[in-house]
Amino acid sequence: MAASPLASANLLRRQLKGMQSDKDLSNISVGLVEDNIYEWEVMLMISDDCKFYGGGFFRARLSFPVDYPHNPPNMKFETPIWHPNIYPDGNVCISILHPPEEDQYGYESAAERWLPVHTPETILISVISMLSSPNDESPANLEAAKQWRDDPAEFKKKARKCVRDSLEW
């Protein structure tokens, strides 16, 4: 059964309010883009213990479908970031944001993909975790994945440049 736009909008309002008041999420800031409940502006303030992106301030956008939570949002970094699981255009490639169906390539099980129990909070926490632990077996950015595997020192240098740039963005 599909969620009605009113139901999904109400759910997103509750989730937004909850995230904005959660003191444990001090490294994540969320707000609306032009008062549109389906478009969220996100700021991820990456803690210093993140090996490659620590100290960075990365802006992103979550775009929710009207049938949320039955289908996942799209997440796109607006701040440039070099990472195996982030396309060069900023779109995030992580299993939990893939539609809730069997993977046509057989790489992921349906259980690894989007489930309605995921929330904006769990998505953003998963993305922060992904920044520390890229999945180079299923990369969105082939060049970044190759560099991650073959030249870790150069990968780290490029990632640290993203962090410096993020502070000026």
Q: What is the pLDDT of residues 84-95, one digit of tens each?
A: 999 999 999 998
Q: What is the mean pLDDT of residues 27-54?
A: 95
Which of the four pLDDT bands, split at 50, 70 and 90, describes residue 136?
confident
| Residue with more model confidence, 80 or 107 | 80
pLDDT of residue 165: 96
Q: Is 93 marked active-site?
A: yes
How much is the pTM?
A: 0.90
Rounded distance between C-alpha atoms, residue 149 and residue 97, angstroms? 24
**pLDDT value, residue 84:** 97
Residue 107: the pLDDT is 61
Q: Among 77, 78, 83, 75, which residue's Cα sits nearest to residue 123?
A: 75
Which residue of the set 12, 30, 81, 93 is catalytic? 93
* Element housing 95 (H / E): none
pLDDT score at 138:
83
What is the second-level CATH architecture of the domain 5-168? Answer: Roll (3.10)
